[in-house]
Amino acid sequence: MSEFAFELELCAHLESRREGIVARQLGAGVAAPGGRILDVVCVAPGPAFDERVAITSESIPDAAIESAVGTGRARYWKDAFDCHPDRARRAVDRALEVGFFERDHTASAAANREYVRQTARYPDWYGRLVGIENKPDLGRPGDLEAQLRTDVSLAVVDAVVLATESYVTRAHLNRLPEEVGVWRVHRDDTDRSLEIEEIREPASLPVDQPGIEPLAFRPGRTDIEIVSPQAKQRARRRLVERAYGKGWRTYEFPAVWGLPTSRSKRCDAPLLCVGRQGRRRRGGVWPIVSGLRAGDGSWGLSRGRTRPTDGMGGRPRRHPSSTGRPRSVRVTDPPVDSRICSDCSHSTYSSPSTASGSSNASSAG
pLDDT digits (tens, 9 = 90+) for 260-282: 544 444 444 444 444 444 444 44
The amino acid occupying position 361 is: A
pLDDT digits (tens, 9 = 90+) for 43-60: 999 999 999 999 999 999
The amino acid occupying position 123 is: P
| pLDDT score, position 341 | 45
295 pLDDT more than 80: no
pLDDT digits (tens, 9 = 90+) for 128-145: 999 999 999 888 888 899
| pLDDT score, position 351 | 40
The share of the chain scoring above pLDDT 70, in percent, equals: 67
Catalogue the long-range contacts made by 295-300 (C-beta closer than 8 Å, 24 or more residues apart): 297/5
The amino acid occupying position 76 is: Y
Domain boundaries defined on the chain: 3-49+124-246, 61-118
Listed range (93-102, 169-178, 323-332) with the worst mean pLDDT: 323-332
Residues 6+ apart with CB under 8 A from 176: 145, 148, 162, 182
Q: What integer best gives the mean pLDDT of the chain?
A: 76
pTM above 0.75, yes or no: no
| pLDDT score, position 281 | 41
| pLDDT score, position 222 | 87
**Residue 337's pLDDT band (boundaries 50, 70, 90)?**
very low
Which of the two residues, 249 and 154, has the higher pLDDT score? 154
The amino acid occupying position 95 is: A
pLDDT digits (tens, 9 = 90+) for 21-36: 999 999 999 988 888 9
Going from the C-alpha of 224 to that of each of 37, 213, 218, 221, the distances in angstroms are 17, 5, 11, 10
**215, 154 contact by CB (below 8 A):** no
303 pLDDT more than 60: no
Which of the two residues, 338 and 152, has the higher pLDDT score? 152
Going from the C-alpha of 251 to that of each of 24, 34, 282, 292, the distances in angstroms are 12, 21, 21, 10
The amino acid occupying position 127 is: G
| pLDDT score, position 199 | 93
| pLDDT score, position 358 | 40
| pLDDT score, position 142 | 80
**239, 232 contact by CB (below 8 A):** no
Instruction: Determine the Cα–Cα distance for residues 98 and 90; give it in Å rounded to an integer.
Output: 12
63 pLDDT more than 90: yes
Residues 6+ apart with CB under 8 A from 210: 226, 227, 228, 229, 232
**Residue 336's pLDDT band (boundaries 50, 70, 90)?**
very low
Going from the C-alpha of 292 to that of each of 165, 231, 247, 282, the distances in angstroms are 25, 40, 20, 12
216 pLDDT more than 70: yes
